[in-house]
């Protein structure tokens, strides 16, 4: 066991506490990664607020990048010194989901925590990472190699926000050239859904948000128009911006019940509504099923953009290197580990694209 520093949640809704904790060495199929960066995702905030329950104390964080510093037995394809991103996506390799190339829905995804408190007590690690810490021990399937010269503050965003947003458009919605796509929410995931829709060849990409500032930002990431969600009937403005056509695809990128309640209004016949934003447990949206049925619409959930790391990370890295996928521009600010509560507070204002902890 080695001692590392981590940001620990001991009480839901309270500031995280920087503590010295214990990290066990990698076991069979596992890898130790010394982290260089970890971004703040709204999922981490939801957990820390108690929105999804779970055991305490806990270490959150799941959008990270660093270098491999130790290998457990039976690890293939990775070597000490490799640059990698760290994701929450563990694949057992043999359940029905993994066998059909859907590892995001692995039946055996939960992994035992590699962390204990400084005195040896239980320390939970939701989402299989515990990356608000100097190091992690994770299963090898949770890693994807990246180029050594890729900035880690940008690279770590591939682990969740970019993977989820771009994947929601490309993998889940399967946006086709010429389609109309409306993205509700122009934050970290939403901006990447916009990028994904543009990359896939959408004719119109309409961003919907509460903030004019975010709508302006959305245009920089490929939106062809922006609509204020506070307008009286924003779906009418979105339709007008697309030349009178309702959306073939609506992607909800925020865990907002009002956003989910209004999302079908933006959707045309046979349209696909992609549910990417994660609300707190127990909250519920409401729809008129007869409308959805009569229009042949589809409500589709997506976890992390339905990714395959071995397929999706290489082509996203390639697009980034070609200048066709914006990553550097997503980083709003960088913080030290002891400033993590400041980074979280800034994220909660809704103004940040992605704040990143730099170790």
Q: Where are the domains of the chain?
A: 2-160+306-358, 165-301
Helices (H) and strands (E) in the chain, counts: 11, 16
pLDDT tens digits for 142-165? 999 999 999 999 999 999 999 999
233-241: average pLDDT: 97
Alpha-helical (H) ranges within the chain are: 42-48, 96-99, 152-155, 161-167, 188-199, 212-220, 234-241, 257-262, 289-294, 309-322, 340-348
Contacts of 210 (CB under 8 A, 6+ apart): 228, 229, 230, 350
In the predicted model, what is the mean pLDDT of residues 238-256?
96
The model's pTM is 0.95
Residue 37 pLDDT more than 90? yes
pLDDT in tens, 71-103: 999 999 999 999 999 999 999 999 999 999 899
Alpha carbon of 273 to those of 112, 250, 305: distances in Å? 34, 5, 13
Residue 163: per-residue pLDDT:
97
Cα distance between residue 203 and residue 327, in whole Å: 23
Q: Give the C-alpha distances (Å, rounded to integers) separating 28 from 75, 219, 244.
A: 7, 46, 57
Q: Which CATH class is domain 165-301?
A: alpha beta
How many Cα atoms are found within 13 Å in the side-chain-facing hemisphere of 149?
2
If we measure between CA atoms, which residue out of 226, 149, 217, 130 comes closest to residue 183?
A: 226
* Model confidence pLDDT, tens digit, residues 178-187: 999 999 999 9
| pLDDT for the residue numbered 111 | 87
**Do the beta carbons of residue 136 and residue 33 sit within 8 Å?**
yes
Q: According to the model, what pLDDT value does residue 351 have? A: 84
Q: How far is CA 189 from CA 85, 162, 183, 212, 352, in A?
A: 17, 6, 10, 17, 12
Say if residue 264 is preceded by a cis peptide, omega within 30 of 0: no
Q: What percent of the chain has pLDDT over 70?
A: 100
The pLDDT of residue 352 is above 90: no
Strand partners, 21: 4
Please tell me the predicted confidence (pLDDT) of residue 88.
Answer: 95
What is the average per-residue pLDDT within 41-59?
94
pLDDT at 19 exceeding the cut of 90: yes
Q: Cβ contacts of residue 290 below 8 Å, gap of 6+? A: none
What is the mean pLDDT of the segment spanning 209-221?
95
Say what the pLDDT of residue 110 is: 85
* Mean pLDDT, rounded, for 264-286: 95
Mean pLDDT of the chain: 96
Q: CATH topology of 2-160+306-358 equal to that of 165-301?
A: no
Query: CATH homologous superfamily of domain 2-160+306-358?
Result: Medium-chain alcohol dehydrogenases, catalytic domain (3.90.180.10)
Mean pLDDT of 207-219: 95
Answer yes or no: are the C-beta atoms of 69 and 135 closer than 8 Å: yes
- Residue 277, SS3 per DSSP: coil
Q: Which phi and psi angles does 249 have, rounded to 5°?
A: -135, 130
List CB contacts of 232: < 8 A, sequence separation 6 or more: none
Neighbours of 328 (CB within 10 A): 10
Q: Which residues of 127-164 are buried (b: 16+ CB within 10 A; e: fewer)?
A: bbbbbbbbbbbbbbbbbbbbeeebebbbbbbbbbbbbb
What is the pLDDT averaged over residues 14-30? 97
């Amino acid at each position: 066991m080695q001692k590392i520093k981590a940001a620990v949640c001991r009480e839901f809704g309270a500031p995280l506490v920087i503590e010295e904790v214990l990290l066990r060495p990698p076991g069979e199929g596992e890898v130790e990664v010394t982290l260089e960066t970890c971004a703040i995702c709204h999922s981490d905030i939801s957990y820390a607020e108690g929105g999804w329950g779970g055991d305490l104390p806990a270490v959150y964080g799941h959008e990270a990048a660093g270098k491999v510093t130790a290998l457990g037995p039976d690890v293939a394809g990775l070597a000490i010194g490799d640059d990698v991103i760290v994701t929450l996506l563990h694949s057992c390799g043999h359940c029905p989901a993994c066998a059909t190339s859907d590892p995001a829905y692995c039946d055996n995804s939960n992994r035992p925590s590699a962390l204990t408190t400084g005195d040896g007590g239980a320390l939970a690690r939701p989402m299989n990472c515990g990356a608000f810490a100097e190091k992690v021990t994770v299963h090898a399937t949770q890693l994807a190699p990246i180029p050594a010269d890729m900035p880690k503050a940008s690279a770590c965003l591939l682990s969740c926000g970019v993977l989820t947003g771009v994947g929601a458009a490309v993998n889940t919605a399967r946006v086709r050239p010429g389609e109309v796509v409306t993205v509700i929410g122009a934050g970290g995931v939403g901006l990447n859904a916009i990028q994904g829709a543009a990359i896939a060849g959408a004719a119109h990409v309409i961003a919907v948000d509460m903030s004019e500032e975010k709508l302006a930002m959305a245009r920089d990431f490929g939106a062809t128009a922006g609509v204020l969600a506070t307008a009286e009937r924003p779906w009418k403005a979105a339709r007008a911006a697309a030349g009178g056509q309702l959306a073939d695809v609506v992607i909800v990128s925020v865990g907002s019940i009002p956003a989910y309640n209004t999302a079908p209004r933006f959707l045309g016949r046979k349209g696909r509504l992609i549910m990417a934003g994660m609300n707190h447990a127990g909250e519920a949206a409401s729809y008129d099923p007869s409308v959805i049925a009569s229009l042949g619409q589809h409500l589709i959930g997506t976890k992390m953009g339905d990714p395959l790391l071995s397929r999706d990370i290489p082509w996203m890295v390639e697009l980034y290197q070609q200048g066709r996928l914006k990553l550097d521009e997503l980083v709003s600010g960088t913080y030290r580990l002891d400033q993590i509560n400041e980074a979280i507070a800034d994220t909660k204002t809704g103004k940040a694209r992605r704040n990143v902890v730099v170790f």
